[in-house]
Amino acid sequence: MRIYATTAHHEHHSLELDEGQLIQSWESPTRADIVDAELAARGFADVRQPGDLDRALIEHVHASAYVDFLQTAHQRWVADGNAGPCAMSNGWPARRMRHIRPEGIVAQLGYYSFAADCSIAANTWGAVVDAARSADAAAQYVAGGAGSAFARCRPPGHHASRDQFGGYCYLNNAAIAAERLRESGAGRVAVLDVDYHHGNGTQDIFYHRGDVSFCSIHADPKVEFPYFLGHADEEGIAGGAGANLNLPLPHGTQSDEWFAALETSLQWIERRGAEAIVVSLGVDTFVDDPISQFRLVSQDFTRLGQRLASADRPMVFVMEGGYGAEALGTNMVNVLDGFLS
């Protein structure tokens, strides 16, 4: 399996508000390094640098003004006299407020974000672009006839909507990969999100479209981030009616329940007629993940890869969450090994 990755992520480490304290983000550079080391240890030697990223492709997924904002936010933050190391907002548009784009950088940080777990540092944009480049390159490779590829993306992307960042995500790597597959000739594409948290950004981007189906297996948003999207009754609108499937599960979910949901997902994707699948590959469903509440064990990720292989579709794997550092590499690569086996 070909891997696409860069080292630009080393320069991105943001701050987040966690349990009332401002801390270094759980989404750290160490995550990607652990996965890279495990890939090398298991003989995944075909690691490539991605090519340039087409701005037009990004704008098929994200609003142009939002992309401009991300690219210039930290520079504007510093120019405005802010002393903090990361650009963060202190206010967000709420119920019965008007969603009119404000002018100042602090206000725009609130306008373009939805959570205080995601800030913008000096080199965030470079890391964000390289993650998206990796996803795009993996999709191009699969569109060219390969059976699979892995985009080792950092930062992740599935919480990034058309015009908002949050949940450690800025550009939606999986959505960019899906859009590339569509533009390369796949009539229908599915995004399967197996991260512990709902892929609210991916749902938002494709909610009105029928050519890209979205399915997410995740913790019930009534008790888990992102809280305000991911319920079972969200099925798509307009041309996307019926093209969205959410399978929320309770805290404490173990492998039998989880794999039953996976079976439902893959059968639904089969009925949707997807010609290729993008997997938002989060492994924070692991029992010892520090910020998650499911109970999968390392062997379950091998089983996941094997079941995905039986779907018999070209597949782009895009790295999302997973924060149990000691096992992160093992679990991520177990999926790829299971798929190839």
Neighbours of 132 (CB within 10 A): 28
Whole-model pTM?
0.98
DSSP run (H or E) holding 248: strand 244-249
Residues 53-61, mean pLDDT to the nearest whole number: 96
Residues 46-68, mean pLDDT to the nearest whole number: 97
Asked whether residue 71 is domain-assigned, the answer is no
Active-site pick, 9, 159, 197, 218: 159
Exposure of 85 in the CB half-sphere (CA atoms within 13 A): 10
pLDDT band at residue 64 under the 50/70/90 scheme: very high
Asked whether residue 19 is domain-assigned, the answer is no
CA distance 21 to 15: 10
pLDDT tens track for 153-184: 999 999 999 999 999 999 999 999 999 999 99
Residues 313-323, mean pLDDT to the nearest whole number: 98
Asked whether residue 94 is domain-assigned, the answer is no
Asked whether residue 135 is domain-assigned, the answer is yes
Asked whether residue 316 is domain-assigned, the answer is yes
CA distance 285 to 267: 21
Asked whether residue 213 is domain-assigned, the answer is yes
Residues 6+ apart with CB under 8 A from 335: 281, 283, 301, 302, 304, 305, 308, 317
Asked whether residue 66 is domain-assigned, the answer is no
Can 231 be counted among the known catalytic residues?
A: no
For the chain, what is the mean pLDDT?
A: 97
Neighbours of 306 (CB within 10 A): 15
Q: What is the pLDDT of residue 233?
A: 98
Model confidence at 326: pLDDT above 90 = no
Return the CATH number at 140. 3.40.800.20
Domain count of the fold of the chain: 1
Domain that holds residue 249: 2-13+26-51+124-340
Residues 267-276, mean pLDDT to the nearest whole number: 98
Asked whether residue 45 is domain-assigned, the answer is yes
Model confidence at 324: pLDDT above 90 = no
Quote the DSSP letter at residue 286: B
Model confidence at 84: pLDDT above 90 = no
Residues 112-134, mean pLDDT to the nearest whole number: 96
